[in-house]
Structure 1
Amino acid sequence: MAIKKVKKLDLKQTVKDMLLDHISQMDLSVETKLPREEELALMFGVSRITIRSVLDDLANEGIITRKHGKGTFVNPVSAGIQVSFNPVMHFSDMIRNSGYTPSVKIIECRTEAASKEVALALKIKEGQDVIVCVKAFFADDKLCSIVQDYVDIELLPDYEDMTTEDMDSLFYYIYHKTGHTIQWDKTEIQVIYSKEIPEIHHIVKKYGGDDKSYLLLKGINYDERDRETLYALEYVDTDLIKFNQIRKKVITYS
């Protein structure tokens, strides 16, 4: 059996997940201070360099704060955030974290010629065939999001064997078919009125939603080699799914 070495990125993410789990079990009403770096390194069996890198990430995300001469503390405000822009989670988890029961309806999976926008996002030629999967997500049976996923058909030539479960999350399907894992995305944030886009307007009316302003997230998803793999247009009803984000301030006061 071939042994696959653990990538440094995988190790760092594993430690980050473990530390977040440790934080989730802390009673922040009693104590918010984390153990020192050397203690955390011993707890997780890794180097202080790895721990320091993970703590840097968590500090940038606003989950922890560092106080010179006092130590590292969990930001208690971060514990109340259920849906954030970073890290990204599946829509069903966003809905569940928002206090609703999630469900999804696969509307269709089709091929079409890539528009200029899609071609630029996926780094392919305009007019080249792409797979488009359209689905609607519901929170307690109320339409809360419409998602259009675009993938180069050359990546998934046998896409017609996709099941409804596969279409629910193309990330998993792409991984099982190609071995590529989606690692990160670059997202542009806009606001649109549903009537401005005929297909979205039709879906909204068909599933009992209201024509209104939706948050539009245009995300280019990259794989482990930083290749453009999936382009997603996500229309979100922010009356149901409320995003929050702790942002670190970089302000010069002198």
Structure 2
Amino acid sequence: MANRDTAVQSALLRLRHLIAMRFEVGDQLPTEKTLAESMDVSRGTVREALGILATEGIVNRRWGAGTFVNPPRPVASLNMSAIQSFRDRVQSSGRIVTLLDGTCERVECPPDASRALQLSNGATAWLVRRLFAVDGTPAALMHEHIPLELFGRPIDPAPMRSLETDLFEMLNRHQRGATAHTVTDIEAVALDAADAEPLGLDPGCPVIRAVQVTYSPDNEPLAYGRSLQRTDLVRMRITR
């Protein structure tokens, strides 16, 4: 299974490069048989890779006609230079953002979040999970771990289950001027099966992963967030 996944990912990368370098919008791709022979892989591998590209909207597979290159989707360009929520960044780009799902529960904090939040191993923390859509299409899956207490008193992040309240608003209501800065690491990753389903993608599709720690003016860690954002709907812009 692992070898097949690797073969599909390799074929996917080669197809992306082929489409970008040799084909225009509306062009028809070679047949699965021709592509498989040129890449020295099975037709099943090519079919699976093309299916991922179709899910991402890069190609259009027409039964009995072939596979054609789609126009590029409009993407929301998000300014990462200021402290803003995903909601505000999308709205400022002129797109419509909606919250498809939001949950809040107490969980055992995973090791990476515990380290970032300076909590003991196995400590309990809040987990807020939210699924956002851009123009009606699932676009970003976010998990925020938040300590049970901040600034010496319990905190309740339940309002974040609605679109009206983001992380920074919730923190600043709890303590005026709570948020001072964030540190964000961004990388491209392949989706696993658990995260692929809510985003409407196939496992293995590339997405942007952003891991962000929010700090107080005294450099106290307030929240540890991990987001997965679709590359066909969202791009990030950093101004320095």
TM-score (norm 1): 0.56
User: Which of 174, 185, 191 is the equivalent residue of 1:194?
Assistant: 191
2:199 is the counterpart of 1:214:
no
What SS is found at the alignment partner of 1:182?
coil
CA distance in structure 2 between the partners assigned to 1:167 and 1:97 by the alignment = 15
Q: Are the counterparts in 1 of residues 212 and 225 from structure 2 also a CA contact under 8 Å? A: yes
What RMSD in Å do the two structures reach over aligned CA positions?
A: 2.6
| CA apart distance, 1:105 | 2.7
CA distance in structure 2 between the partners assigned to 1:176 and 1:160 by the alignment = 10
Show the 5 A alignment for 1:58-207.
Answer: 83-155=78-150, 157=154, 159=156, 162=159, 164-165=161-162, 168-195=165-192, 198=194, 200-204=195-199
| CA apart distance, 1:231 | 0.6
What SS is found at the alignment partner of 1:159?
coil
Q: Which has the higher contact order (CA 8 A, sep 6+)?
A: 2
Which segments of 5 or more consecutive residues in structure 1 lack a partner in the other structure?
A: 1-80, 248-254
Q: Are the counterparts in 2 of residues 215 and 236 from structure 1 also a CA contact under 8 Å? A: yes
Q: Are the counterparts in 1 of residues 105 and 127 from structure 2 also a CA contact under 8 Å? A: yes
CA distance in structure 1 between the partners assigned to 2:158 and 2:186 by the alignment = 33
Q: Deviations over 1:21-62 (max 9, x none)?
A: xxxxxxxxxxxxxxxxxxxxxxxxxxxxxxxxxxxxxxxxxx
What SS is found at the alignment partner of 2:237?
coil
Q: Are the counterparts in 1 of residues 102 and 131 from structure 2 also a CA contact under 8 Å? A: yes
CA distance in structure 2 between the partners assigned to 1:202 and 1:193 by the alignment = 13
Q: Are the counterparts in 2 of residues 143 and 209 from structure 1 also a CA contact under 8 Å? A: no
CA distance in structure 1 between the partners assigned to 2:219 and 2:146 by the alignment = 15
Identical aligned residues as a percent: 15
Q: Are the counterparts in 2 of residues 133 and 167 from structure 1 also a CA contact under 8 Å? A: no
Bigger proportion of residues as strand: 2
CA distance in structure 2 between the partners assigned to 1:115 and 1:227 by the alignment = 19
What SS is found at the alignment partner of 2:172?
helix
Which segments of 5 or more consecutive residues in structure 2 lack a partner in the other structure?
A: 1-75
CA distance in structure 1 between the partners assigned to 2:155 and 2:81 by the alignment = 32
Q: Are the counterparts in 2 of residues 108 and 133 from structure 1 also a CA contact under 8 Å? A: yes
Q: Which runs of 4+ in 1 moved over 6 A?
A: none
Q: How many matched pairs?
A: 162
